[in-house]
Amino acid sequence: MGQTNLTMEEMEARIVRYGDLVPCRTAFIDAHTPGSDQKENFTIIGGGVSEAADQHVHIKETPGFNIGAAGQPPFCRNSLHTHRTAEVFFVLSGTWRFFWGRYGDAGEVTLTKGDIINIPTGIFRGFENIGTDYGMIMAILGGDDAGGGVLWAPEVIIDARDHGLILGDNGKLYDSKKGQALPEGIAPMPVMDDESLSRIKEPSIEEFLPHYVARYLDLMALSKSQPVDVISPTGLLRDKPGFAVDFIQRNSISDAPYSTDAHEILMVAEGHWRLSFDGGSLSLAKGDVAAIPPGLSHAITPAMSGEASLYRVTSNDDPAGPTWVEWQQDAK
């Protein structure tokens, strides 16, 4: 592994500040559907899963996975859909209800600040802000082309069509309210057939919680002396999604510089951090995302007193694909 050197300007270009996030309000097929029409989608690293041509992408280079975010006012929901690669969320702010199943009634779990959920592939899932204020969840999506793995429940496509949005079989949205129509040679995205729908899994809450949800307070307790392995083949949430996730708080990590041959993404959950490297040092605050290239010697230290925590996502050689559990294998 060779040494990587960056100037302050080059490193700053690899940081997406929470206050600089650019929302897209027409990112998905349910953008006009009542109850889902106030969502804001943010594509931070990579193309994400947006179906809108005007989605702003902050950093286009992907490290083998995508980073995004969703912001929603109270009681706004994201409609039922499924993925062929990983979809991981942690709560940056607000109170969120995640639900799953063919009709969204097989189970649900409520997450609050800092909680993380690794939603398995091959199940329909949705989420809703059930708090009293605008909320934000940060997302990690498996694969360089995360947009190639989204399938909507049939009723979502039908409802969207009734409100003027048509999803083409090219994965792009066309808005009849803006005078748009499907281009020649592009057909509407077909709805899932009965055979495909019959393969949708519906894990019980007892099957789901221990394997796919980790609580922030538990992670804070477990990380008093070292980082916590959250998502990996040996982590609290055992999986091989094409990346690994660990959790760090102020007492977890020394101020000694280190480097790796992997891409490293820092996602600040709480507090203020100092990112130091040979070219200088920069501060990171809640909601900021930093992309550390392979080979860069750097250190991460709390910048102020008080609560400080972050999720660190690293690339690895595992291919993006179905969730790594037995009951998922027939959903490939």
Architecture category of domain 21-214 in CATH: Sandwich (2.60)
> Residue 280: in which H helix or E strand, if any?
strand 280-285
Bridge partners (DSSP) of residue 138 are: 69, 90
DSSP letter at 24 equals: B
Kindly list the domain boundaries of the chain, sorted by start residue: 21-214, 216-315
With a CB cutoff of 8 Å and minimum separation 6, the contacts of 178 are none
Let me know: does 127 contact 135? Beta carbons within 8 Å: no
**pLDDT, position 331:** 41
At residue 328, the pLDDT reads: 46
- Right CATH for 216-315 from 3.40.50.620, 2.60.120.10, 2.170.130.10, 3.30.1330.30: 2.60.120.10
Q: Which two tokens stand for residue 42?
A: 């943010």
CB of 243 within 8 A of CB of 67?
A: no
The answer to whether domain 21-214 and domain 216-315 are alike in fold is yes
- The residues of the chain scoring below 70 in pLDDT are 1-2, 48-53, 146-149, 326-332
State the Cα–Cα distance between residues 143 and 172, nearest whole angstrom.
Answer: 19
Distance CA 31, CA 68 (A): 17
d(CA 313, CA 321): 17
CA distance to 196, 212, 311, per residue, from 331 (Å): 9, 17, 29
Pairing outcome for strands 228-232 and 213-214: unpaired
CA-closest candidate to residue 80, choices 186, 185, 202, 182: 202
| Chain-centre distance for alpha carbon 66 | 7
Q: What pLDDT score does 170 carry?
A: 81
The per-residue pLDDT for 329 is 46
The H-assigned helical ranges of the chain are: 8-12, 154-162, 194-198, 205-212, 216-222
- Sign (positive/negative) of CA torsion 249, 254, 256, 259? negative
> Nearest-CA neighbor of 83 among 123, 39, 29, 28?
123
pTM, full prediction: 0.93
- For residues 129 and 72, what is the distance between their CA atoms, to the nearest angstrom? 6
Q: Name the residue among 168, 187, 178 with its Cα closest to residue 29.
A: 168
- The pLDDT of residue 3 is 81
Which residue in 91, 93, 135 sits closest to 109, CA to CA?
91
User: CA of 229: how far to CAs of 9, 219, 223, 232, in Å?
Assistant: 32, 9, 9, 7
For tokens 């991981």, name the residue: 88
The HSE-up count of residue 114 (CA atoms within 13 Å, CB side) is: 20
Nearest-angstrom CA–CA distance, 313 and 9? 23
Distance CA 111, CA 281 (A): 33
* Owner of token pair 């708090």: 131
